[in-house]
Structure 1
Amino acid sequence: MSILKNYTVYILQCADDSYYVGMTNDIDRRLAEHQQGLNRGYTNSRRPVKLVFTEHFSDVNHAFEFEKQIKGWRRAKKEALIKGEWDLLPELSKAYKK
């Protein structure tokens, strides 16, 4: 019997209104780490943070690819994703290429 792992790609809105994209296999633990400043990375000086988006995956490779993809997006596209406006994503990609 194999145990299914669950991976979460998440977006945090930081106190300075910037966004941070990450991936974890324990979203509650990871969010607490960000809030407590346990990591010396991007969010440490931008606390408090607010969880604004999650997407769950059973395959770590799919989660990693999605995280990498979102990290390359402009703010407007991230905000459309956060709002659940998936239909706007292709148009926002086209607008950027012009």
Structure 2
Amino acid sequence: MEANKLFYFYVLLCDDGSFYGGFTTDVSKRFQTHRSGKGAKYTKVHRPVSVLYSEAFTEKRAALQAEYRFKHQSRQQKERFLQTQGLKPRQWRLSSN
């Protein structure tokens, strides 16, 4: 294993206003993969528009656990999580233009 390698849990905002939580070693590259339709099944249908949140971990297991916890929460709990990370609801509300 590489020294100082980081693992990331991330949250995407999708074009229908839904959230997608994932795991990667490169958030930017993974976001572009999702945008191209080659990411996960979910993001093929619910296209991501932005990265709302990412958190780095030194251990892969910890990042995967964060992803699991996020994915198994209700929408309200996910919003509360994002707010505790300093995000405001306007950051995940899509404009109707």
TM-score bracket, normalised by the shorter chain, equals 0.7 to 0.9
**What is the percent sequence identity of the aligned residues?**
31
Distance 2:33 2:16 in 1: 18
Q: Give the counterpart letter for 2:77 in structure 1.
A: K
Say whether 1:69 aligns with 2:69. yes
Which residue number in structure 2 is paired with residue 34 of structure 1? 34
- Counterparts of 1:1-98 in structure 2, within 5 Å, are 3-39=3-39, 41-84=41-84
Distance 1:40 1:21, change over 3 A: closer
Q: Under a length normalisation based on structure 1, what TM-score does the superposition of the two structures give?
A: 0.77
Instruction: Tell me the alpha carbon deviations over residues 30-56 of structure 1, each in whole angstroms, 9 at most, x when there is no partner.
Output: 001011112351011222421111111
The size of the alignment, in residue pairs, is 85
Structure 1 residue runs of 4 or more that deviate by more than 4 Å after TM superposition: none
Root-mean-square deviation (Å): 1.8
Structure 2 unaligned regions, length at least 5: 87-97
Structure 1 unaligned regions, length at least 5: 87-98
Distance 2:69 2:13 in 1: 18
Bigger share in helix = 1
Q: Under a length normalisation based on structure 2, what TM-score does the superposition of the two structures give?
A: 0.78
Q: CA deviation at 1:5?
A: 1.0
Query: 2:4·2:58 contact (CA, 8 Å) conserved in 1?
Result: yes
Distance 2:57 2:40 in 1: 26
Of structures 1 and 2, the larger Rg is shown by: 1
Distance 2:40 2:74 in 1: 24
SS of the residue corresponding to residue 52 of structure 2 reads: strand
Which residue number in structure 2 is paired with residue 93 of structure 1? none
